[in-house]
């Protein structure tokens, strides 16, 4: 497998540069003193461990798998045993080093379902599988989780290379993975009244709702929220990751039959948001509820699969850092 160069998450490039200087004979680092250290360890009867084994940032990125897409090559890269990146066109989509927002997104939706027998949850998309893993950890043994993922290669990565990181979550007996556009899945289910199959829907799309939402947006418009409402039991939770507050999406939630609150997570300039909404009982097709401030679940102190829900590959952005 060939080594590959990828943009680093924030701070990693600086650390890698420091590692390079440390290995330089000019800097008097690892390369300059390696032979002396080995001789000293041998004389003392001690073992010697190469710096790369002790400091993963000294290792190069290796491309494990790749697939062409209209936006560039989608790649899975690894450094060491547990450090992974998913990139597209050479730009980072997500990293295994930072997944607190995925964890909290799933917990905010699923923690209230811990004691519910036969809870049913929809998760989209799969990404590296951390959202799914966190949801499974909150749910009972008789729960059922449907995962909607647009790209089949992402499913393959989560059942092979990434499986040890997420406890083989994609092959958990409670999980059914569907290679499908989640917007299409919700539309199909919404056309089958009176069935309301889910207790919670978790949308962890790489691109969340923008400040203004198009009336024809397949995931965040008023019509999309009405379809999501039709797929949730009354009182069911809808959790949606986003980069910042979206007044357009809040309007869609109100018109779609939800009350909601927003959770803020992260520090400094990399603060992310989670909308946590609850499906209200509808008295008519035009009912428009008012948002309430009552918490829907206990907030967690802590709070990526590359799908967009409209059939297109994700737009490359800086990695989500927590």
Which of 12-16, 170-174, 207-211 comes out lowest in average pLDDT? 12-16
Residue from 206, 209, 180 nearest 122 by CA: 180
Residue 57's pLDDT is 57
Output the pLDDT for position 276: 97
> If you search the block for the tokens 């990139």, which residue do you land on?
87
Q: What is the mean pLDDT of residues 260-289?
A: 76
The two three-digit tokens of residue 48, written as one number: 């010697």
Same domain assignment for residues 143 and 243: yes
Residues 265 and 128 in one domain: yes
pLDDT score for 221: 97
pLDDT value for 70: 82
Answer whether residue 217 is part of any domain. yes
Q: Does residue 10 sit within a domain? A: yes
What pLDDT score was predicted for residue 207?
A: 84
Residue 315 lies in a domain: no
Phi, psi angles (nearest 5°) of residue 299: -60, 145
Is 74 in contact with 307 (CB distance < 8 Å)? Answer: no
Is 110 found in the same domain as 56? Answer: no
Q: What is the pLDDT of residue 69?
A: 84
Q: Are residues 81 and 135 in the same domain?
A: no
Mean pLDDT for all residues in the chain: 78
Band (pLDDT 50/70/90 cuts) for residue 283 is low
Task: State the average pLDDT over residues 6-31.
Answer: 37
With a pLDDT cut of 90, the percent of the chain lying above it is: 55
Q: Which of 74, 95, 116 is the last residue of a domain?
A: 95
The three-class DSSP label of residue 192 is coil
Q: What are phi and psi of 242, to 5 degrees?
A: -155, 165
pLDDT at 32: 41
Residue 171 sits in a domain of what CATH number? 3.40.50.150
**Residues of the domain holding 246:** 100-279
> Do 130 and 226 belong to one domain?
yes
- Who contacts 45 (Cβ-Cβ below 8 Å, separation ≥6)? none
Buried b (16+ CB within 10 A) or exposed e, 216-250: ebbbbbbbbbbbbbbbbeeebbbbbbbbeebebbb
**Residue 142, SS3 per DSSP:** coil
Task: Note the pLDDT of residue 300.
Answer: 34
How does DSSP assign 198-241, residue by residue? EEEEEE--SS---SS--TT-TTTSHHHHHHHHHTEEEEEEEEEE
Q: What is the pLDDT of residue 100?
A: 86
Boundary of a domain, candidates 69, 95, 121:
95
Please report whether residue 306 resides in a domain: no
Which of 118 and 32 is assigned the larger pLDDT?
118
Asked which of 38, 60, 95 is the last residue of a domain, the reply is 95
When pLDDT is cut at 50, 70 and 90, the band that residue 108 belongs to is very high
Q: What is the pLDDT of residue 4?
A: 43
pLDDT of 82 reads: 87
Q: What is the pLDDT of residues 33-92, one digit of tens each?
A: 455 555 555 665 655 455 444 455 578 999 999 999 888 899 999 999 889 999 988 888
**Claim to verify: residue 146 and residue 60 sit in the same structural domain:** no
Share of residues in the chain with pLDDT > 70 (%): 69
Judgement on whether residues 149 and 218 belong to the same structural domain of the protein: yes
**Are 181 and 89 part of one and the same domain?**
no
In a domain, residue 320? The reply is no
Cis peptide before 125 (omega within 30 of 0): yes
pLDDT of residue 49: 52
User: Which 3-state string (H, E, C) describes 56-100?
Assistant: HHHCCEEEEEEEEECCEEEEEEEECCCEEEEEECCEEEEECCCCH
pLDDT digits (tens, 9 = 90+) for 145-156: 999 999 999 999
Is the domain of 85 the same as that of 115? no
**Residue 287 located in a structural domain:** no
Flag whether the pTM goes above 0.75. Answer: no
Whether 117 and 217 share a structural domain: yes
Q: 274 and 129 in one domain? A: yes
Find the helix or strand (DSSP H, E) in which 18 lies: helix 12-23
pLDDT, tens only, 179-223: 999 999 999 999 987 779 999 999 998 788 998 999 999 999 999
Among 1-15, 191-205, 238-252, top mean pLDDT goes to: 238-252
- pLDDT computed for residue 302 by the predictor: 32
The number of domains in the chain is: 2
Is residue 156 situated within a structural domain? Answer: yes
What's the pLDDT at 62?
93
Taking the CA atoms of residue 90, residue 92, residue 97 and residue 100 in that order, the dihedral angle to the nearest 10 degrees is -170
The CA distance from 37 to 49, in Å, is 10
Residue 213 makes CB contacts below 8 A (sequence gap 6+) with: 220, 221, 246, 248, 249, 251, 252
Whether residue 294 lies inside any domain: the answer is no
pLDDT of residue 199: 98
For residues 142 and 245, membership in a common domain is answered with yes
């Amino acid at each position: 497998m060939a080594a590959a160069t990828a943009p680093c998450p924030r701070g990693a490039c600086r650390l890698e540069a420091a590692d390079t200087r440390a290995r330089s004979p000019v800097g008097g680092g690892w390369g300059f003193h390696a032979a002396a250290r080995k001789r000293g360890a041998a004389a003392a009867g001690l073992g010697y461990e190469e710096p790369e084994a002790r400091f993963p940032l000294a290792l190069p990125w290796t491309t494990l798998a790749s697939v062409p897409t209209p936006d560039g090559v989608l790649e899975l890269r690894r450094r060491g045993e547990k450090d992974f990146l998913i990139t597209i066109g050479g730009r980072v989509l997500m990293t295994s080093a930072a997944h607190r927002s995925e964890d909290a997104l799933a917990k905010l939706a699923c923690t209230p379902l811990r004691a519910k027998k036969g809870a049913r949850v929809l998760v989209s998309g799969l990404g590296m599988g951390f959202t799914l893993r966190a949801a499974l950890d909150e749910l009972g043994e008789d729960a059922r989780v449907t995962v909607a993922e647009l790209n089949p290669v992402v499913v393959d990565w989560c059942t092979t290379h990434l499986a040890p990181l997420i406890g083989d979550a994609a092959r958990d007996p409670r999980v059914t993975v569907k290679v499908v556009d989640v917007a299409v899945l919700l539309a199909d289910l919404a056309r089958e009244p009176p069935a309301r199959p889910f207790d919670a829907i978790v949308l962890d799309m790489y691109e969340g709702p923008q400040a203004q939402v198009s009336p024809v947006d397949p995931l965040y418009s008023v019509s999309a929220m009405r379809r999501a409402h039709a797929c949730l039991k009354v009182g069911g939770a809808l959790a949606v990751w986003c980069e910042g507050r979206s007044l357009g999406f809040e309007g869609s939630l109100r018109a779609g039959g939800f009350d909601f609150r927003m959770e803020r997570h992260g520090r400094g300039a990399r603060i992310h948001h989670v909308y946590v909404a609850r499906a209200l009982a509808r008295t008519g097709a035009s009912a428009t509820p008012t948002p309430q401030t009552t918490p829907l679940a206990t907030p967690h102190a802590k709070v990526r699969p590359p799908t967009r829900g409209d059939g297109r590959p994700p737009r490359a952005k800086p990695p989500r850092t927590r």
